[in-house]
Amino acid sequence: MTSLWTGITGAAAAFDRWVRDPIDPRPLAWFRSWLGLLSLVNLWLLWPDMPMWLGNDGVLPPAVHRELMGDTRISVYMITGSSDAAIGLIRGLGLAGGLGLWLGIFPRCAAFCAWLAAVSYAYRNMDILHSGDNLIRIGTFFLIFARTDGVFSLPREVQRRFFPQTGPDADAHSGVVPAWPQRILQLQLCILYLAAGIWKATGPTWRNGTAVGLVLQLGEFQRFPVPDFFLTPVMSQLMTYGTLAFELGFPVLIWIPNLRLPVLLAGLAFHAGLDWVMNVQMFQWLITAYYLLWLKPASSSPASSAPRSDPACSVRPAR
Amino acid sequence: MKKHRPHTAPLPRPRDRWQSILQRWPTVLVAGYSLAAFSWTMPGSLFPPKPIIDQVTGGPLLLLGLWQAWDMFSPDPRTTDICVEMRCTNRDGTSDRRMLSDMVAMGFYERWQKDRWRKYFNDHLRLDDERVLWQPFAEYAVRRLREEGEDPVLIELVRWWRPCEPGIRPELRADVRMTPWQSYVFHRWGVPREWGR
Contact criterion met (CB < 8 Å) for A73 and B68: no
Q: Are residues A191 and A138 in the same domain?
A: no
Does a structural domain hold residue A7?
no
Residues of the domain holding A261: 178-280
Which long-range contacts (C-beta less than 8 Å, at least 24 apart) are formed by B164-172?
Answer: B164/A214, B164/A217, B164/A218, B164/B79, B164/B80, B164/B81, B167/A233, B168/A210, B168/A213, B168/A214, B168/A216, B168/A217, B168/A231, B168/A232, B168/A233, B168/A236, B169/A231, B169/A232, B170/A228, B170/A231, B170/A232, B172/A217, B172/A231
Give domain status of residue A308, yes or no: no
Q: Are A192 and A249 in contact (CB under 8 A)?
A: no
Q: Residues 31 to 70 of A: which have CB under 8 A from any B CB?
A: 45-46, 48-49, 52-53, 57-61, 64, 67-68
A214: in domain:
yes
- Number of domains composing chain A: 2
Which residues does B151 contact at the CB level (< 8 Å), separation at least 6?
Answer: B90, B91, B92, B145
* Residues A36 and A131 occupy one common structural domain: yes
Look at residues B113, B111, B126, B134 and name the one whose alpha carbon lies nearest to residue B161. Answer: B126
Together in a domain, A211 and A262: yes
Q: For residues A54 and A129, state if they share a domain.
A: yes
Is residue A15 in some structural domain?
no
B68 neighbourhood in chain A, CB within 8 Å: 134, 138, 192
Q: What string of pLDDT tens digits covers the 197 residues of chain B?
A: 455 555 555 666 777 888 888 889 999 999 999 999 999 999 999 999 999 999 999 999 999 999 999 999 999 999 899 999 999 999 999 999 999 999 989 999 999 999 999 999 999 999 999 999 999 999 999 999 999 999 999 999 999 999 887 788 888 888 878 889 999 999 999 999 888 88
Name the minimum distance, in Å, from the CA of B4 to any CA of chain A.
17
Q: Are A182 and A144 part of one and the same domain?
A: no
Ranges of chain A with pLDDT below 50: 170-172, 302-309, 313-319
Residue A57: inside a domain: yes
Interface predicted TM-score (ipTM): 0.91
Say whether residue B5 is in contact with chain A using an 8 A CB cutoff: no
Whether residues A224 and A140 fall in one domain:
no
> Do B26 and A192 make contact, defined as CB atoms within 8 angstroms?
no
Query: A34 and A140 share a domain?
Result: yes
Q: Is the domain of A134 the same as that of A197?
A: no
Residue A86 maps to a domain: yes
Residue A68 placed within a domain:
yes
Q: What is the pTM of this model?
A: 0.91
